[in-house]
Amino acid sequence: MRSIHQIRGAAHPPGWENSDSLETLRQKICSCMACRLGATRKNFVFGEGSLNAELMFIGEGPGRDEDLQGRPFVGRAGQLLDKMISAMQFRREDVYIGNIVKCRPPENRVPERDEADACMPYLMKQIALIRPKAIVLLGATPARFLLGVKGINEVRGKWQRIEGISTMPTYHPAFLLRNPPAKKTVWEDLKLVMALLGKTPKPQ
């Protein structure tokens, strides 16, 4: 499992690690060119949500819509994530949403290891600043880079820990759009997170 003290990225903007707030961090890293993805992005997608979020979601990386708007999870998968958040009795603005990489990989491909390693310190700093009570990993890519597993099915639905924070890996909303029956499986995972956060699922 990853620790903020174990990650070494490429050359990053100076002083970013001393940021004492998310806004300061965003300002310091928004022009980052520490990996090749910086050369092809339209917008740096920092992440968004509550500074005091109890719950944080981590996905793979920006897609086309996110790259155009500079916001995470705003396409079809994002619309489904919004429904998932609502079903958990939160509003989007109550949680925090981020990604493994903050720039869109060309053609929406999976981030390469060196790209993820270059961006990972920023994500770990966000986690340290927010200090949520629970993290939900969305899909195989965050599970692979944050937990060191080969695939999501190794850990899906099983509590893990990142920086001492309870972490639930589950399927990505994009996978659910392609495989609607898996929504029931994800709902069971999310109910475990709700229980940890003192939420009681409403009768379906």
Q: Where are the domains of the chain?
A: 31-196
The reported pTM is 0.93
Segment 12-21, tens digit of pLDDT = 889 999 999 9
Q: State how far the alpha carbon of 141 is from the alpha carbons of 24, 89, 109, 111, 170, in Å.
A: 27, 26, 11, 8, 11
Q: Domain 31-196 maps to which CATH number in 3.50.50.60, 3.30.1360.20, 3.30.70.890, 3.40.470.10?
A: 3.40.470.10
Segment 150-183, tens digit of pLDDT = 999 999 999 999 999 999 999 999 999 999 999 9
Q: Going residue by residue through the chain (204 aa), what tens digit of pLDDT does each one get?
A: 444 433 444 578 899 999 999 999 999 999 999 999 999 999 999 999 999 999 999 999 999 999 999 999 999 999 999 999 999 999 999 999 999 999 999 999 999 999 999 999 999 999 999 999 999 999 999 999 999 999 999 999 999 999 999 999 999 999 999 999 999 999 999 999 999 999 998 876
| Complete DSSP assignment for the chain | ---TTT---S---TTGGG--SHHHHHHHHTT--SSGGGGT-SS----EE-TT-SEEEEES---HHHHHHT-SS-SHHHHHHHHHHHHTT--GGGSEEEES-SSPPGGGPPPPHHHHHHHHHHHHHHHHHH--SEEEEESHHHHHHHH--S-GGGTTTS-EEETTEEEEEE--HHHHHH-GGGHHHHHHHHHHHHHHTT--PPP-
